[in-house]
Amino acid sequence: MKNIFAIISIVTLSMSLAFSQSTGTKKPAAAKADPAPHRAAQSGPPPMLLPSHAQIDAAMQRNFGYDPNVQWNILDVRQSPIPGVAEVILAINRQQTIHLYMSTEAQSAIIGNLLPFGPNPFEANREKLKAADGPSRGAERPVVDVVEFSDLQCPFCKGAHPLVEKLMADFPLLRFTFQQFPLPPTTHPWAIKASHYADCAGTMNKDAFWKFIGTVFENQGSIALATADDKLKEYAKDSGLDADKVAACAALPATEDRVNKSIKLGQSLDVNSTPSIFVNGRLIPPIGANGLNYDQLKAIVQFEIEHAGK
């Protein structure tokens, strides 16, 4: 699977048969079938006719159906900021998230991410991130604000956690804010439940919150959907919290509302994978295994300190 996506991340994907082929016998993971193409409903460029889920499935099947190890789930189809180009967000094997920018007219697609570009490219993100209200720690008047949208079941978030901890120790002028962004149950079955427990931990005791999420990350492999409540209560107690109160809080509609508010904030910033970490509004590449190492992460933070507000 790595070889496939190493290739398609470099070259243009041919979709010449995308809209005439059926999905055949192989079923994509959690694929949704739309009866007809639908139109984007968002501000910006005039609405365009978007490809349907069925059409995208057909294209993926025709290009990658030869490999039974490649499964995909369509997370979103929307109009991109580029006129005439649709943005398709796919989860590959319930882990890697990729963006396809498709031209239905040319029947081709490229893989990648749109970058803010200009003399002050991250200002819009910084304005939106002023609404980040998750648990935070660090400087009261920070030079650098780091905001992470995270999922407690996400193995990449677990890998990033110690790097963020080290960053906090090395940069006393930094403030770190943790925002809940659980991925859908089709990807991470117990992530939403964990986000509710974590949200309640954060409202009850900020210090216990950091211990709680660290314990959940450390024990990801021991948690399953069927045992999630028992495990999360155990970790809440180990973090110095009243486990029954946390569990009761986690079941409240108000808790769900707070987590959904955090998710909507992330979506307004085009977050669709975790961890998504913003440094003064700059969305940084993935960190940890197969991503940025710690020295590269430090270099970005230092650069943002030198260019604060720009």
Omega cis (within 30) before 275: yes
To the nearest 10 degrees (0 to 180), the angle between helices 206-218 and 155-170 is: 130
Find the CATH number of the domain harbouring 166.
3.40.30.10
Same domain, 55 and 142: no
pLDDT at 227 exceeding the cut of 90: yes
In a domain, 116, yes or no: no
In a domain, 200, yes or no: yes
**CA-to-CA distance for 282 and 221, rounded, in angstroms?**
31
Strand partners, 74: 90
Domain count, the chain: 2
Q: What is the DSSP string of 202-223?
A: HHH-HHHHHHHHHHHHHTGGG-
Residue at a domain's end among 111, 131, 157: 111
Same domain, 156 and 301: yes
In a domain, 208, yes or no: yes
Cβ(272)–Cβ(98) below 8 Å: no
Same domain, 48 and 89: yes
Same domain, 128 and 107: no
Same domain, 107 and 132: no
Q: Which residues have CB under 8 Å from 102's CB, separation 6+?
A: 15, 51, 56, 85, 86, 87, 88, 108, 109
Same domain, 96 and 155: no
76-95 pLDDT per residue, tens:
898 888 888 999 988 888 77
Same domain, 59 and 128: no
Same domain, 284 and 149: yes
Q: Residue 20: which pLDDT band, with cuts at 50, 70 and 90?
A: very low
Residue at a domain's end among 111, 144, 174: 111
pLDDT at 15 exceeding the cut of 80: no
Q: Residue 19: which pLDDT band, with cuts at 50, 70 and 90?
A: very low
pLDDT at 3 exceeding the cut of 50: no
| Mean of pLDDT values over 102-127 | 85
Same domain, 100 and 167: no
Same domain, 232 and 94: no
Judged by average pLDDT, the poorest of 17-26, 212-221, 258-267 is: 17-26
184-224 pLDDT per residue, tens:
998 899 999 999 999 999 999 999 999 999 999 999 999 99
Same domain, 33 and 93: yes
Residue at a domain's end among 111, 136, 166: 111
In a domain, 117, yes or no: no
Domain that holds residue 32: 2-111
Averaged pLDDT of the chain: 84
Same domain, 104 and 127: no
